[in-house]
């Protein structure tokens, strides 16, 4: 119960910071933290082997998404 609450609070804080942050590079950091917290919530809430598979799929997909965003952002000339 405590672990789920901590992961939920971290995810909620990260969502608020992503929405409130003006600097795109700082948003990426909080986006990664949010993805870690959501993955942890999936693992903790669904105590089943398929829960592990769902968390792994979410984690891999969100990591690829974050890498694509960072790669696209780094190719801009004004950074």
Per-residue pLDDT of the chain (79 residues; tens, 9 = 90+): 899 999 999 999 999 999 999 987 888 889 889 999 999 999 999 989 999 999 999 999 988 988 888 888 788 766 5
pLDDT at residue 27, as a whole number: 86
pLDDT at residue 77, as a whole number: 63
DSSP for 17-77, written as a single string? HHHH---HHHHHHHHHHHHHHHHHHHHHH--SHHHHHHHHHHHHHHHHHHHHHHHHHHTST
């Amino acid at each position: 119960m405590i672990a789920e609450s901590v992961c939920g609070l971290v995810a909620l804080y990260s969502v608020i910071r992503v929405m409130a942050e003006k600097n795109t590079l700082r948003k990426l950091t909080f986006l990664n933290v949010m993805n870690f917290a959501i993955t942890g919530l999936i693992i903790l809430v669904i105590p089943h082997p398929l829960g592990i598979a769902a968390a792994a799929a979410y984690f891999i997909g969100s990591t690829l998404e974050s890498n694509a965003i960072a790669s696209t952002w780094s190719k801009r000339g004004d950074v």
